[in-house]
Structure 1
Amino acid sequence: MITLQISLAPSDYPHAVHLLTHQIKVFEKQVDEILLTYDTHKSKGHFSNNWELNIDKMWDFLVDFSKSNIKIRLIKIDYSKSKNREISQRYFSRNNIPAKDWRGGPFYTYFFGINEAKNDYVFHIDSDLFFGGMSKNWLEQALKLYNDDKQILFINPLAGPPKADGELIGQIYSKYKNKPFYFAFKSMSTRLFLVNKERLVNFKLDNIRTRNIVHFLKAIFRGNPPFKLPEEILSSKLESNQMLRVDFKGDEPGLWSLHPPYRTSGFYDNLPEIINRIELNDFPESQKGFYDIVDEFVDWTEAKSKLKM
């Protein structure tokens, strides 16, 4: 029994109106529950872009969208002290955790989503992810692998479409049991992960305050909690307990994810076409083996020119 859990916030509205349909199309027949969690806790920084503009519009969209599939359960994230304490005691060595990390990015939302899922197996994805390969049984294969190897804590689809030589670009990894398109990592990303709740609670999370003086000062200056990113905390726990994250393609046609590194007007305008091309495995050769959408696929000139200013 698996829950697909998708985290959403008001700032996600421009892409969610297109990507939610795509994401559920990929996974709806592989899961028993689709949990949409909606964040109404505004942070400081770019994570809250257009928050007020979209907060009601996004909620209305999600309420209407949820009626399209009986597996969907839509909830607003509960930031009450009692719920925070429940989650903190279950997954952490403390009685409360922050709403956000030092950047103003989500912290509490990840653990709330895992905790509120009805099933022990939770497949979390961020709202801006695309999926190609379109495997209809990848999650079934992932559960078998998870249960066969107690050293695994997280499992993901491939990050980027498969490269002919079986390698990845820009990642630190080893081959998992020398199997083609199976990769082992000592770190994880909160963009997406399949986890078993009961396996996760065996590793109480600690040392969550940032010790990086630059991050600490930026947090104080911006008014954010001085805490590490969740993926940094979870990655440290992986390594200290000699656990693994495994990414694998699965049986043909396999499954892989792509992430947009920027947000531009052109990107939003072309989202339906981008989704269609990814579902059809229509992408440039330079995209193979890489997790972020490359320039040859989407024109990122607008975003990169702003970075130079």
Structure 2
Amino acid sequence: MNADLAPVQTALQINMHPFDAPHVTHTLPHQIRVWENQVDRILLTVDTGQVNAGRYKGQGFDAAKARLFAFMESLRIKHPKLHIDTVDYGAEAHRKLGQLFFSRAPHYPDKAFDGGPFYVYFYGLMRANARYVLHMDSDMLFGGASQTWISEAIAQLEAQPNALVVCPFSGPPKDGGDMSLSLHVGMPGVKHILRAEKLQLDSPAWRFPTVSTRIFMIDMQRFTDRIGSLDLLRPDLKRRIRSYAFNQKPISMPAEEALSTNMIARDLYRLDYMGTGQGMYSLHPPYRSPQFYAALPSLIKRIEAGNIPESQRGDFDINSSMVDWSSAIAAKSRSKRYLKALKHLISANIERFSRK
């Protein structure tokens, strides 16, 4: 059982899964270098639940799990702020999480309608036990690396009472603090999304009505005061049918869409903030491929050194100017995606009917 952690002011909380091990061995030391001196706690939230069918099924789970935990333990010896937490799906943990995030909902799901993570995001925020929780996925990378970003971000939250979350700038900014807004597409389940607005602050900043579960820092006290209980976002008919077909439960759209919908309903927003000096921006690798894993160590060095091509500026996803994505893109062709979906559909229904 995970031990309770004492309340702190600031915490870095990182979600990961055993199958993240190939990149975590490179990204986690980078994330610690960037953030360790700015937070009171670092919490690694590991989802060790296995999926037997569908798109989140994988082979070699036990070996990946052993590799990940051995690596995390080696880091914990060197970093006293670091804590390792496994996701608890038990009844008591469900009850506590429900009280904190879903007190008005009769029930809430472990997984989103498509089998993607849902419960784990809120579990990590709960377990971090901090006023300000900087949440991120395990593959996030950071440039600028300002060592005052969190204190500046908290000051921005205090100055803007309708900001629920603040994020490092979405990708290295263009000249004048601009970004490529065409890349910030909407969310399938979220309607009436207002256009992002550039703010006149002491450094590049934009206001967005939605938030991604990849990266955000949330004011938990403001969440309690302004939202209190999240309303789930029910999938539409098409997605409910697809969910049933893949042996999932269509209770809610993904966590980021549910959170964004609740923010919009209460006139809350996300602030993308660069910060002073070198500031802080995030980058996200959109694919996984042998080329990516081979390039990852040098990619991190380039980002930390600020060696960013002009064509990467304004883009929050690492693009082909920094990594050769040709093989990964080829694997995402329409025919291959359909074949993969068919295999997942078959395995999901074999799993369903084998229980009967």
Question: What amino acid is the match of 2:321?
Answer: E
Shift of 1:45: 3.4
Deviates more, 1:84-93 or 1:167-176: 167-176
Give the one of 221, 236, 245 matched to 1:221. Answer: 245
Alignment check: 8 A CA contact 2:286 2:317 kept: yes
Trace 1:121-270 onto structure 2 (pairs within 5 A).
Answer: 121-169=132-180, 170-171=183-184, 172-177=195-200, 180-202=203-225, 203-226=227-250, 227-270=252-295
TM-score by length of 1: 0.95
**Of the candidates 89, 93, 101, which is equivalent to residue 91 of structure 1?**
101
Distance 1:261 1:235, change over 3 A: same
> Counterpart amino acid of 2:292?
F
CA–CA distance in 1 between the matches of 2:127 and 2:106? 18
Q: What does residue 111 of structure 1 align with?
A: 122
1:114, CA displacement in angstroms?
Answer: 0.8
Matches of 1:216 and 1:59, distance apart in 2: 36
SS for the counterpart of 2:78 is: coil
The separation in 1 between residues aligned to 2:316 and 2:125, in whole angstroms, is 24
CA 1:85/1:293 → structure 2, altered by over 3 Å: closer, same or farther?
Answer: same
- The structure 1 residue matched to 2:305, chosen from 273, 277, 280, is 280
Structure 2: state its 5+ residue gaps. Answer: 1-8, 185-194, 337-356
Question: What percentage of residue pairs aligned between the two structures are identical?
Answer: 33
User: 1:91 Cα shift?
Assistant: 1.0
The one-letter code sitting in structure 2 at the alignment partner of 1:78 is D
Structure 2 SS opposite 1:156: strand
Which residue of 68, 72, 88 corresponds with 2:78? 68
Whole-angstrom CA distance in 2 between matches of 1:141 and 1:178: 12
The alpha-carbon deviation at position 25 of structure 1 amounts to 0.2
Q: Which moved more, 1:19-28 or 1:221-230?
A: 221-230
How much does 1:143 deviate?
0.7
| Paired position in structure 1 for 2:3 | none
Q: State the secondary structure of the residue aligned to 1:90.
A: helix
Q: How far is 1:177 from its partner?
A: 4.2
Q: Distance in 1 between matches of 2:241 and 2:228?
A: 27
Counterpart residue identity of residue 238, structure 2: V
The letter of the residue matching 2:235 is R
Give structure 1 stretches of 5+ with no counterpart. Answer: none
Q: Distance in 1 between matches of 2:145 and 2:174?
A: 17
- Give the 3 Å change call, closer, same or farther, for CA 216–110 of structure 1 in structure 2: same
Secondary structure, aligned partner of 1:6: strand
Match of 1:81 among 86, 91, 99: 91
Runs of 4+ deviating beyond 4 Å = 177-180
Q: Which residue type is aligned with residue 248 of structure 2?
A: N
Q: CA deviation at 1:205?
A: 4.0
The question of whether the paired residues in 2 share the 8 Å contact of 1:84 and 1:97 is answered with no
> In the alignment, does 2:47 pair up with 1:39?
yes
Q: Secondary structure at the match of 1:208?
A: coil
Q: Which amino acid aligns with 2:242?
A: K
- Alignment CA distance shift 1:101-1:58 (3 Å): same
Q: Contact (CA 8 Å) 1:7, 1:38: kept in 2 or not?
A: yes
Q: In structure 2, the residue corresponding to 1:158 is in which secondary structure? A: strand
Q: 1:27 to 1:268 in 2, by over 3 A?
A: same
Q: Aligned in 2, Cα 1:178/1:250: closer, same or farther, shift over 3 Å?
A: closer
Quick check: 2:101–2:230 contact (8 Å CA) kept in 1?
no
Q: Which one is further off, 280-289 or 53-62?
A: 53-62
Question: Normalising by the residue count of structure 2, what TM-score does the alignment of the two structures yield?
Answer: 0.83
Q: Residues 153-189 of structure 1, C-alpha deviation per residue, up to 9 Å, x if partnerless?
A: 0100001001004221122410124665110011110
Deviation at 1:65, TM superposition (A): 2.2
